[in-house]
């Protein structure tokens, strides 16, 4: 049997990771400033995280949600504390796509409506409903096409207002990333997010804050939507939640009432996944990683401004997009091959995505800056 060919691959086999460093099978060292699409939030093989997983494996890794799993309650308590959403409810699943799928499904259950509003260049996952709300026709199969989803221009307050005036009583949910990741690190303006909140309140629509990539402290606040000083009805999280262990979740406002059978999962919230997520939150809190993300993010942005051919630098904290005056695919490959530095790309072919662990060392960011200066 062969692997189904879905990704272009570097001819590199990674066998070990520590912090923001990686080593391949030949002993070559790499600098990981991408973290597998913002997944590595507290660094590879963080000792606290590893020890928690080892200890849990010695006890039990999985049992179904038909029994009490105390780690779920511990995780919910920690999330409530660090987010300030103590009165919210937690549903656990396995990925960001699942989180968004369940968020949109739950919104429809809640208000009995079908229409969903999403935005241009947004990315919400590859499962059926999540992908239909994603602005990329190349990954939407015919069976995923959904007439209930409308894609509106990102940050266009006038068009959003007009759409609500026409269809407001039919709109189940609005889903939006606080900072678009795949779309090229483009921030939703605070005024746009506040308008969404206002329109949702007026028309009985649910506000779904897709925080899969821009959440978990990466922006310097737990949710990047927090910069607008609003609360969403549902937050979706994943990626940095498990530091590489597959886990996702939605945080659900108290006015959304659960019923048995509404949502369900086999693997979601298992003992090992919850232990991984608890370990991540403990490290984020103990090591003040959200503050670190802000400080180092500001430092990196100031240094990136000194590089030739940089058109614009976007993002908050350690979720940074660098737009160049030329397409960056060759530059990204040069960083890997000549300097052994991993960064990401985006749907905007001129943008590099920089998404290092939140505890990355300043010296590692300086290495990236020096490499970019040499290549430009």
CATH number at residue 179: 3.40.640.10
Residue 2 lies in a domain: no
**Are residues 243 and 331 part of one domain?**
no
Q: What is the pLDDT of residue 220?
A: 97
Q: What is the pLDDT of residue 83?
A: 98
The number of domains in the chain is: 2
Residue 269 near residue 92, CB atoms below 8 Å: yes
Q: Which of 286, 312, 330 is the last residue of a domain?
A: 286
Residue 105: strand, helix, or coil: helix
For 243: left if phi > 0, alpha if psi spans -120 to 50, otherwise beta; the answer is left
CA proximity to 181, closest of 230, 134, 246:
134
**Are residues 204 and 108 part of one domain?**
yes
**Are residues 301 and 281 part of one domain?**
no
Tell how strand 179-180 and strand 171-177 pair up.
unpaired
**Are residues 20 and 88 part of one domain?**
no
> 22: domain range?
14-38+288-375
Q: What is the pLDDT of residue 318?
A: 98
How far is the first Cα of the chain from the last one, in angstroms, to the nearest whole number?
43
Residue 172 lies in a domain: yes
Q: Which of 268, 286, 304 is the last residue of a domain?
A: 286
**Are residues 358 and 242 part of one domain?**
no
The predicted-structure confidence for 76-120, as pLDDT tens digits, reads as follows 999 999 999 999 999 999 999 999 999 999 999 999 999 999 999
Report how far residue 255's alpha carbon sits from residue 61's, in angstroms, rounded to the nearest whole number: 33
Q: Low-confidence residues of the chain, pLDDT below 70? A: none
Q: Which of 243, 260, 286 is the last residue of a domain?
A: 286
**Are residues 94 and 118 part of one domain?**
yes
**Are residues 306 and 269 part of one domain?**
no
**Are residues 151 and 249 part of one domain?**
yes
Residue 234 near residue 107, CB atoms below 8 Å: yes
Q: Count of CB atoms within 10 A of residue 89's CB?
A: 16
Report how far residue 221's alpha carbon sits from residue 230's, in angstroms, rounded to the nearest whole number: 13
Residue 5 lies in a domain: no
The CA dihedral of 242, 101, 80, 70, to the nearest 10 degrees, is: -60
């Amino acid at each position: 049997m062969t692997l189904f060919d879905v990704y272009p691959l570097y001819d590199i086999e990674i066998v070990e990771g520590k912090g923001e460093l990686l080593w391949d099978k030949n002993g070559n060292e790499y600098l990981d400033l991408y973290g597998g699409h913002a997944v590595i939030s507290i660094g590879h093989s963080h000792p606290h995280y590893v020890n928690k997983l080892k200890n849990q494996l010695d006890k039990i890794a999985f049992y179904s949600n038909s029994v009490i799993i105390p780690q779920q309650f511990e995780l919910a308590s920690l999330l409530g504390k660090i987010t300030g959403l103590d009165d919210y409810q937690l549903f656990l699943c396995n990925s960001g796509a699942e989180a968004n799928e369940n968020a949109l499904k739950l919104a429809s259950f809640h208000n009995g409506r079908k229409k969903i509003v999403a935005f241009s260049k947004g990315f919400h996952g590859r499962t059926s409903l999540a992908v239909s709300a994603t602005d990329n026709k190349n990954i939407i199969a015919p069976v995923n096409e959904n007439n209930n989803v409308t894609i509106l221009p990102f940050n266009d307050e006038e068009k959003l207002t007009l759409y609500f005036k026409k269809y407001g009583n039919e709109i189940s949910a609005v889903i939006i990333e606080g900072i678009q990741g795949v779309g090229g690190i483009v921030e939703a303006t605070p005024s746009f997010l506040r308008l969404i909140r206002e329109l949702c309140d007026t028309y009985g629509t649910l506000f779904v804050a897709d925080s899969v990539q821009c959440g978990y402290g990466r922006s310097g606040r737990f949710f990047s939507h927090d910069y607008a000083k609003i609360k969403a009805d549902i937050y979706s999280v994943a990626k940095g939640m498990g530091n590489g262990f597959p886990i996702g979740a939605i945080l659900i406002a108290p006015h959304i009432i659960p019923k048995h059978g509404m949502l369900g999962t086999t693997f979601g919230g298992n003992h090992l996944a919850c232990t991984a997520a608890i370990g991540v939150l403990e490290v984020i809190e103990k090591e003040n990683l959200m503050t670190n993300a802000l400080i180092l993010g500001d430092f990196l942005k100031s240094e990136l401004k000194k590089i030739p051919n940089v058109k614009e630098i976007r993002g908050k904290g350690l979720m940074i997009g660098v737009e160049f005056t030329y397409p960056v695919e060759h530059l990204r490959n040069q960083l890997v091959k000549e300097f052994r530095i991993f960064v990401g790309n985006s749907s905007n072919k001129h943008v590099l995505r920089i998404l290092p662990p939140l505890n990355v060392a300043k010296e590692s960011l300086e290495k990236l800056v020096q490499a970019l200066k040499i290549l430009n």
